[in-house]
Amino acid sequence: MNLFGVDISKHLLRDEGEVVVDEVTHHWVSYIRPVAEAILGLALMIVAATIDMNVAWIIVLLAFGLVGHAFWRSLVVSRDRFVVTNMRIFRIHGVLSSELATMPLARVLDITVKQSFWGQMFNYGHFVFESAAQEQGLNNIYFVGRPTERDLTIQRVVQRAGLRGSVG
């Protein structure tokens, strides 16, 4: 098992000619909170080294808890993938167990791209999918890097699959 990555190839319908068009990992900004927690945990360990050991053990436990939580959150973010293929879109995520949500391209009705001020500054956004049948796990995809390009990629794949009429 690859701890920090996800093997999406085992989820492809290769016999049917399915190929990956885009594999989306979270934007680096989604790691800010775990990194801040880890830094705070390390700072608490330094503080604990300078005070009385009768009190320091509480701070050390808190520091280990923060660093452990930061590591866990980093794993959760790194093992979350959103994949666009020539046939469908799917999301796979999970650390100790995995969850796979799939939506055929024919069910994609609308994609809303939300970008906050910071999202525009750092070029990330959130996707909100509306489909013919709302699929759990694919309604919202957060911290997507280059969201405009990725939205256009999905629109092109849907268009090439012949699932929408010509615009014009």
* Domain containing residue 58: 32-74
* Residue 118 located in a structural domain: yes
For residue 3, tell me if it sits in a domain: no
Give the pLDDT of residue 168. Answer: 44
Do residues 110 and 70 share a domain?
no
Residue 131's nearest CA partner among 121, 144, 141 is 141
| Structure tokens given for 82 | 């959103």
Report how far residue 163's alpha carbon sits from residue 141's, in angstroms, rounded to the nearest whole number: 22
Question: pLDDT under 70 in the chain at which residues?
Answer: 1-4, 131-137, 163-168
> Structure pTM?
0.78
The DSSP code sequence of 62-121 is HHHHHHHHHHHHHHHHHT-EEEEESSEEEEEE-SSS-EEEEEEGGGEEEEEEE--HHHHH
Same-domain check for residues 155 and 103 = yes
Q: For the chain, how many structural domains are there in total?
A: 2
Taking the CB of residue 141, how many other CB atoms lie within 10 A of it?
21
Q: What is the pLDDT of residue 87?
A: 87
Q: Are residues 123 and 105 in the same domain?
A: yes
| Domain match, 61 and 127 both | no
Same domain, 93 and 150: yes
Tell me which residue has tokens 């808190």. Answer: 62
Q: Are 123 and 150 in the same domain?
A: yes
108 and 70 in a common domain: no
